[in-house]
Amino acid sequence: MTANIKAKASKLKSAAIKARGKPSALARAVKKSRPVAKAKGGVKKARPAANVKFKKSARTPKAAPAKSPARAAKKAAPAKPKAIARRVLKKAVKVSLKKTAKPSANKRKPAATPKGSAPKKRTAKTPLITVLCGGCSSEREVSLVSGQKIFEALAAQFEAVLRVLDAHVLPEDLDPAQTVIFPAFHGTWGEDGGVQTLLESRGFAYAGCGPLSSARCMDKIQTKAAARACALPVVDEIFFEASAKPAAQDVVARLGDAVVVKPVDEGSSVGLHMVQGAAELEKIFGQIANGRWMIEPRIVGREFAVGVLDGAAMGIVEIVPTGGVYDYAHKYTPGSTRYEFPAKLDDQTARRMRAAAQTAFAACECRDFSRVDFMMDGRGQFYLLEINTIPGLTATSLLPKSASCSGLDFPALAKRMVEPAIARWRKRR
């Protein structure tokens, strides 16, 4: 009987060797098993190899029908060693076959995730970017478009949300420990330091200029004063309150017949009037009921804009409105203005204009980004007009065009605009 067990074990071991090329650990363990003691009735028991544990079988092997005295003797013998050996070696064969089997060529591999397809997850070192837009100024509609555009660009690179405000109040649920603010307001409250003051008081890190530089740049009188202190070219002006208008004849005598009347603290050419002569000026004065205003001599020539990013001037954009005046309608109506970027200027003039933009940016203590506007007369002399601390970010806006001259597309520009604020947020933690 023992010889019969060994013969069948040898067959199963050969199957394992064929499947893998060498006997498995379990096959070698069974080979080492040998009878060491006799049980009652003269039957030898197999000693299991070291470190090999056998579980007791719950099933009793079926007895084969006795056909001869020899088979009857086999039936009477205990079947446990034979059953154990068969189960052990069958398991060894299965393990060996599983290890050596090659994966099916038809088995589909899991598809790889396209690079950059998954949204960037916020971590402890990466804040939520909250874009604020709307407000109650005369430039609300432009702010809504700018906010949507900058949000879309930032959301592709950061975890970002867009919040539209209908009042000049910050949402109470904003947490300075979790979020960086990108204010996309234009005009009053957004560019005059109002929202920046509130953000500072609540401890937020935010993109763009601070309260003082925002207020200075929104006030064209202060901007020109800072420019004059740095010897930057600016035109003469007359400042007045709506309640104390100057005599039209005095204005013409000082600045000439062709003048520009505009608010001191509005943007996007809101309230801009082109006037010819004292009679027209008197009519315009009759329409002015409140606010702070200024009058400048009108420069007939070319208009330019230079974007400044982290203190470095980018490309120069020339603005060519179809109607001759770059007013609110021409700024935001597609097709009403032609743009040349980079502008067609000689190298020396272009270098001087970019240098003037950087000087004005520093003189008004701007940070992160701004847009500096110039006018050039027929003699080739350019003059500083104003600085926009939150320039438009619409499809027709000038800052993205300036950035494109420096090799930055809109998503890259958006990232560069918010990165300094993220750095300030991390520094505060």
| 361 touches 311 (CB < 8 A) | yes
Choice among 96, 318, 373, 404 that is catalytic: 373
Among the listed residues 137, 139, 237, 367, the single catalytic one is: 139
Is residue 392 part of the annotated active site? The answer reads yes
Write out pLDDT tens, residues 148-163: 999 999 999 999 999 9
Q: Of the listed 388, 397, 402, 404, which one is catalytic? A: 388
Burial class (CB within 10 angstroms; exposed 0-12, middle 13-18, buried 19+) of 274: middle
Residue range 184-199: mean pLDDT, rounded? 94
Does residue 194 sit in the same domain as residue 247? no
Distance CA 271, CA 288 (A): 9
Clarify whether residues 250 and 205 are in a common domain.
no
Question: Which range, of 61-65, 214-218, 263-267, averages the lowest pLDDT?
Answer: 61-65
Same-domain status, 240 and 186: no
Residue 21 has pLDDT above 60, yes or no: no
- For residue 180, being part of any structural domain is answered with yes
Q: Is 388 a catalytic residue?
A: yes
Per residue in 336-355, pLDDT (tens digit) is 789 999 999 999 999 999 99
Shared-domain flag, residues 206 and 249 = no
Tell me the average pLDDT across 311-321. Answer: 95
Are residues 142 and 332 in contact, defined by beta-carbon separation less than 8 angstroms?
A: yes
Q: Hey, is 206 helix, strand or coil?
A: strand
- pLDDT, residue 173, reads 95
Please give the Cα distance from 147 to 131 (Å, whole number): 6
| Order of all β-strands in the sheet with 258-263 | 238-241, 292-297, 258-263, 273-276
At 427, give phi and psi (nearest 5°).
-65, -30
CB burial string 207-239: b at 16+ within 10 A, e below: bbbbbebbbbbbbbeebbebbeeeebebbebbe
378 φ, ψ to 5°? -65, -15
What is the pLDDT at residue 104?
42
Q: What is the 3-state secondary structure (H, E, C) of 215-241?
A: HHHHCHHHHHHHHHHCCCCCCCCEEEE
Which residue has tokens 């947020």?
425
Question: Same domain for 132 and 186?
Answer: yes
Helix (H, G, I), strand (E, B), or coil: what is residue 179? strand
Is 54's pLDDT higher than 80? no
Reported confidence tier of residue 176, pLDDT bands at 50, 70, 90: very high
Catalytic, 268? Answer yes
pLDDT average, residue stretch 196-204: 97
The per-residue pLDDT for 71 is 54
137, 206: one domain: yes
- Among 135, 210, 267, 392, which one carries the catalytic annotation? 392
* Residue 51 confidence (pLDDT): 47
| Within a domain: 86 | no
Q: State what percent of residues in the chain have pLDDT above 90.
A: 62
User: Do 284 and 250 fall into the same domain?
Assistant: yes
258, 199: one domain = no
Instruction: Using a pLDDT cut of 70, give the percent of the chain over it.
Output: 67
Q: Annotated catalytic residue: which of 386, 397, 402, 404?
A: 386
**Set 237, 371, 383, 397: catalytic member:** 371
Instruction: Tell me the C-alpha distance between 187 and 265, whole Å.
Output: 8
* Residue 135 belongs to a domain: yes
| Count: domains in the chain | 3
Give a yes or no: residue 189 inside a domain: yes
Q: Which residue has the higher pLDDT, 220 or 24?
A: 220
- Please give the pLDDT value at position 332: 58
Structure confidence at residue 108 (pLDDT): 37
pLDDT at 312 over 60: yes
* The pLDDT of residue 95 is above 70: no
Mean pLDDT along residues 362-366: 97
Q: What 3-state DSSP class applies to 418?
A: helix
The confidence score (pLDDT) of residue 337 equals 84
DSSP 263-296: ETT--TTTT-EEEEHHHHHHHHHHH--SSEEEEE
Catalytic pick among 96, 143, 214, 268: 268
For tokens 């020539």, the residue is 301
pLDDT score, position 270: 72
In a domain, 290, yes or no: yes
Residue 268 lies in a domain: yes
Judged against a pLDDT cut of 80, whether residue 2 lies above it is answered with no
Q: Examine the residue annotation and report whether 134 is marked as an active-site residue of this protein.
A: no
Q: What is the pLDDT of residue 30?
A: 44
CA separation for the pair 274, 276 (Å, rounded): 7
Distance, in Å, from the CA atom of 219 to the CA atom of 211, rounded to the nearest integer, reads 12
94 confidence band (pLDDT: 50, 70, 90): low
Residue 290 burial (C-beta neighbours within 10 Å; 0-12, 13-18, 19+): exposed
For residues 294 and 366, the answer to whether their CB atoms sit within 8 Å is no
Does the structure show a pLDDT above 70 at 309? yes
Known catalytic membership, residue 371: yes
* Contact between 326 and 272 (Cβ < 8 Å): no
Residue 409 annotated among the catalytic residues of the structure:
no
Assign residue 192 the CATH number of its domain.
Answer: 3.40.50.20
Answer yes or no: is 170 within a domain: yes
Which residue in the list 332, 367, 370, 402 is annotated as catalytic? 332
Please say if 290 is a catalytic residue: no
Among this protein's residues, is 106 annotated catalytic? no
Q: Stretch 374-395: mean pLDDT, rounded?
A: 93
Which of the residue ranges 70-84, 156-170, 291-305 would you say has the lowest mean pLDDT?
Answer: 70-84
Rounded Cα gap, residues 304 and 316, in angstroms:
7
Residue 187 binned pLDDT confidence (cut-offs 50, 70, 90) = confident
Where in the sequence is the domain holding 19, given as residue range(s)? 1-56
- pLDDT category at 118 given cuts 50, 70, 90 is very low
- Assess contact for 183 and 390: CB atoms under 8 A: yes
The predicted pLDDT at position 265 comes to 86
Look over the chain and give the mean of its residue pLDDT values, rounded to a whole number: 80
Q: Which residue has the tokens 């330019």?
A: 304
User: What per-residue confidence (pLDDT) applies to 90?
Assistant: 57
Question: Is residue 362 situated within a structural domain?
Answer: no
